[in-house]
């Protein structure tokens, strides 16, 4: 559920070209809203800025850049939640 008093402003962009980066780990996160059309999202903290996240659907998905203190859903803007305390890290290839 989204707490209206704690809404965090975000900027979400879709890069025109794939990001070039070394293989890194992606953590599984979920969007908590019932009306969002996505299930599982892969998230990584961008190393070039403290409040920048890469969020994508699936291993081969194109990442969105999300500027926020916490990772946010690129579809509805809600703050994402970890997929579980034992969230699996996937290696991007």
What sign does the dihedral 41-44-48-52 (CA atoms) show? positive
pLDDT per position as a tens digit, 79-89: 999 987 434 44
68, part of any domain: yes
| Position 59 in a domain | yes
Q: How confident is the model at residue 58 (pLDDT cuts 50, 70, 90)?
A: confident
Q: Is the pLDDT of residue 90 over 90?
A: no
Does residue 22 lie in a domain region? no
pLDDT of residue 66: 92
**Do the bridges between strand 89-91 and strand 40-45 make them parallel or antiparallel, or are there none, so unpaired?**
unpaired
Range of the domain at 49: 37-93
Residue 1 · residue 66 · CB < 8 Å: no
pLDDT in tens, 8-57: 556 565 555 554 444 468 999 999 888 887 778 999 988 778 889 999 98
Number of domains within the chain: 1
Tell whether 72 is covered by a domain. yes
> 16 in a domain, yes or no?
no
């Amino acid at each position: 559920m989204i707490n209206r008093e704690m809404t965090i402003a975000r900027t979400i962009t879709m890069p025109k070209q794939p990001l070039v980066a070394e293989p890194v780990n992606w953590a599984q996160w979920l969007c908590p809203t019932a009306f969002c059309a996505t299930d599982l999202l892969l998230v990584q903290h961008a190393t070039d800025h403290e409040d920048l996240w890469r969020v994508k659907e699936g291993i081969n998905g194109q990442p969105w850049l999300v500027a926020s203190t916490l990772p946010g859903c690129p579809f509805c803007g809600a703050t994402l939640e970890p997929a579980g305390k034992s969230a699996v890290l996937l290696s991007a290839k």
